[in-house]
């Protein structure tokens, strides 16, 4: 297996080099999503997007570049400090055991400091995912994942921004893909929350609209039709 680390980055230069240096020896692809000034970092491949296009564009471009460079798996980690690189070996180990699966991180929302609103949103998102796929997942919104690139490129996902990660997970499940979950450190601090580009109202609305669409598709279409809908 050839695995790389993909870091989508938009104006998070202050934490980036530390993440790169803690990559457990994996080659790193930084997708500079239109940062101003442009991102500079050592010991990595920097893929620059001309303008800020959102996480969906950053990830899809990162996946394509990783495959072009000969990698078959990619671990995605956020640049805002909410994902601890100490968990990278866990993802590598799980992907070696389940090479065709998406390995997704599970955060602990019961630790002190997590707001009631975030706990509710996590449970609500997991409820939607279970309703759409029949799969019980503990953290459907976590972006700390390992993707099998050969399978991911066949998934038909068109959502923009953060919603793209949820659409990939649902449609991967519809296509018959296996999802493996591993516990990861939970990092929620004032600094990381302020550094996040998640827009509470706009992005929550986009998540809701996507979930409504996926929910009705899951109830109205056959499994065969859902599989056809979810793949290119």
- Strands across the sheet containing 28-33: 45-49, 28-33, 3-9, 73-76, 145-148, 102-106, 179-183
Would you state the pLDDT for residue 84? 94
Q: Which CATH class is domain 3-230?
A: alpha beta
Q: pLDDT at residue 71 above 70? A: yes
Would you state the pLDDT for residue 191? 58
Task: Tell me the CA distances in angstroms from 176 to 71, 115, 169, 173, one per residue in order.
Answer: 23, 35, 11, 5
Would you state the pLDDT for residue 192? 53
- pLDDT digits 0-9 by tens, 79-136: 988 899 999 999 999 999 999 999 999 999 888 777 777 788 889 899 999 999 999 9
The reply to whether omega before 37 is within 30° of 0 (cis) is yes
pTM of the model: 0.91
| Average pLDDT, rounded, for the chain | 91
Contact 77, 54 (CB under 8 A): no
Task: List the beta bridge partners of residue 48.
Answer: 32
- pLDDT digits 0-9 by tens, 146-159: 999 999 999 999 98
Q: Which of 29, 84, 68, 49 is nearest to 153 (CA)?
A: 68
Q: Which of 6, 23, 1 is nearest to 89 (CA)?
A: 23
Q: Using a pLDDT cut of 90, give the percent of the chain over it.
A: 76
Domain ranges of the chain: 3-230
Q: Tell me the pLDDT band of 196, cut-offs 50, 70 and 90.
A: low
Q: Quote the Cα angle for 113-114-116, to 5°.
A: 125
Q: Is the dihedral of CA 216, 217, 222, 223 positive or negative?
A: negative
What is the chain's alpha carbon radius of gyration, rounded to the nearest angstrom? Answer: 17
Contact 147, 74 (CB under 8 A): yes
3-state DSSP assignment of residue 221 = coil
Secondary structure (DSSP) of 152-208:
HTTB-----TTHHHHHHHHHHHHTT--EEEEE------HHHHHH----HHHHHHHHH
- pLDDT digits 0-9 by tens, 11-37: 988 889 999 999 999 999 999 999 999
């Amino acid at each position: 297996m050839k695995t790389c680390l993909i870091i989508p980055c938009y104006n998070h230069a202050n934490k980036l080099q530390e993440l790169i240096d803690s990559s457990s020896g994996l080659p790193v692809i930084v997708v500079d999503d239109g940062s101003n000034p442009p991102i500079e970092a050592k010991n990595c491949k920097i893929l620059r997007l001309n303008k800020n296009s959102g996480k969906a564009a950053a990830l899809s471009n990162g996946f394509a570049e990783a495959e072009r460079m000969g990698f078959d798996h990619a671990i995605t980690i956020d640049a805002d400090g909410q994902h601890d690189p100490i968990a990278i070996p866990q993802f590598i180990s799980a992907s070696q055991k389940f090479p065709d699966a998406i390995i997704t991180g599970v955060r602990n929302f019961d630790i002190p400091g997590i707001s009631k609103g975030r706990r509710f949103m996590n449970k609500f998102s997991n409820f939607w995912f279970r309703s759409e796929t029949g799969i019980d997942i503990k953290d459907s919104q976590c972006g700390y994942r390992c993707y099998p690139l050969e399978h991911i490129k066949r998934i038909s996902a068109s959502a923009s921004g953060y919603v793209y990660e949820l659409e990939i997970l649902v449609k991967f499940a519809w296509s018959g893909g296996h999802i493996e979950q591993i516990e990861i450190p939970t990092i929620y601090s004032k600094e990381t929350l302020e550094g996040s580009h998640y827009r509470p109202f706009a992005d929550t609305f986009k998540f809701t609209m996507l979930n409504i669409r996926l929910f009705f598709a899951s109830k109205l279409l056959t499994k065969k039709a859902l599989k056809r809908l979810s793949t290119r």
